[in-house]
Amino acid sequence: MGPPHQRRFDVSFMHLSIWLCRWNALRAAVVSPQFAMSTRTAQSRPSMIEALVIAAAVWAGVDLRVVAILGIALLFPIWALGGVVALVLRNRRRTSTRPAVFCHAVARELRAGATLRSALLSACASAGIELEADGDLVVSLADLTGFLARALPEISEELVALVTAADKSGAASAALFEELGDLAMAQVELDEELRIATAPARASALVLLGLPVVFIGYQASSGSLPPLFGGGPQSAIALIGAALAASGVIIGFLMVRRAL
């Protein structure tokens, strides 16, 4: 199945691949060949709504690679599908098992006879945690503990309590660090399995949220929406519909984001 971080990246881009396939199907069903030919020039230039969609994705903290593919997908969906495949094959995400690696490294150093402070500093190097300038020379154990709590937020509370206890018990705490590392690794694996198990439902939710946005953006770029807001009763109806669509997308996005 591959390492957890690679599976998580593959699942994320699987969502995007499904979204792009559905978008191509919608385009083929809604837009006739004659209309697509007449609006080809307009589609080649990003509209204001498309720019707002991309800006909203950046503001929401979406991975910039996904944002780039989204921008390409709005103009060249087929090219975007090729980019998705290439990124899935080549990309490697930063590991999310750093807390477990750190705790296991501390346990090894303590069993080897190192002091607690030396064990923590050596474990930082093993886990790829960069200390502040000259931190290995001047930082105290209390400062080092606070720094590690910020660097490892997943286990910050447990780590602070364990370091405080280990400062009094010494090497006897090696087993506790090892147990904390095992718990951190188990949590990573559990979260990853949960994400994989819920991937189809989350992909469907994202597709349902994305289709209205893409369709409205496409209609805006083709010039079909401005006449609806030109005045008269249809303008009020269009405004109400736009407000309902926007609120539905925002609420749905927040629900999906909370569930991720």
Residue from 133, 136, 159, 134 nearest 146 by CA: 159
Q: Is the pLDDT of residue 252 over 60?
A: yes
Cα–Cα dist 235/222, whole Å: 18
For residue 85, the model assigns a pLDDT of: 47
Question: Residue 169's pLDDT is what?
Answer: 73
The predicted pLDDT at position 106 comes to 93
- Amino acid at site 152: L
Cα 213-215-216 angle, rounded to 5 deg: 65
- pLDDT tens-place string over residues 27-43: 444 444 444 444 444 44
The H-or-E segment that residue 65 falls in is: helix 64-75
Identify the residue with better confidence: 124 or 32. Answer: 124
| Rounded mean pLDDT, 145-174 | 85
Best-predicted range by mean pLDDT among 178-182, 227-231, 251-255? 178-182
Q: Where are the domains of the chain?
A: 4-94+203-225, 98-192, 226-260
Burial state string for 163-191 with b = 16 or more CB within 10 A and e = fewer than 16: beebeeeebebbebbbebbeebbeebeee
Helix (H, G, I), strand (E, B) or coil at 107: helix
Distance of CA 21 to the CA centre of its chain: 21
Compute the distance between CA of residue 123 and CA of residue 127 in angstroms, rounded to an integer.
6
Q: CA angle, corner 136, sides to 110 and 122, nearest 5?
A: 30
**pLDDT for residue 216 is more than 80:** no
Most confident of 5-9, 47-51, 54-58, 113-117: 113-117
Q: What is the pLDDT of residue 20?
A: 52
pLDDT of residue 23: 52
Per the prediction, the chain carries an average pLDDT of: 71
pLDDT at residue 104 is higher than 90: yes
Evaluate whether 45 touches 233 at the Cβ level (below 8 Å). no
Which pLDDT value is given to residue 102? 94
Question: DSSP characters for 7-28?
Answer: HHHHHHHHHHHHHHHHHHHHHH
pLDDT: which is higher, 23 or 224: 224
Surface-to-core class of residue 126, CB atoms within 10 Å of its CB (0-12 exposed, 13-18 middle, 19+ buried) = middle
Q: pTM of the prediction?
A: 0.51
Provide mean pLDDT across the span 85-94. 45
62: CB partners within 8 A, 6+ apart: 70
The answer to whether the CB of 84 falls within 8 A of the CB of 20 is yes
Per the CB < 8 A criterion, the answer to whether 50 and 221 are in contact is yes
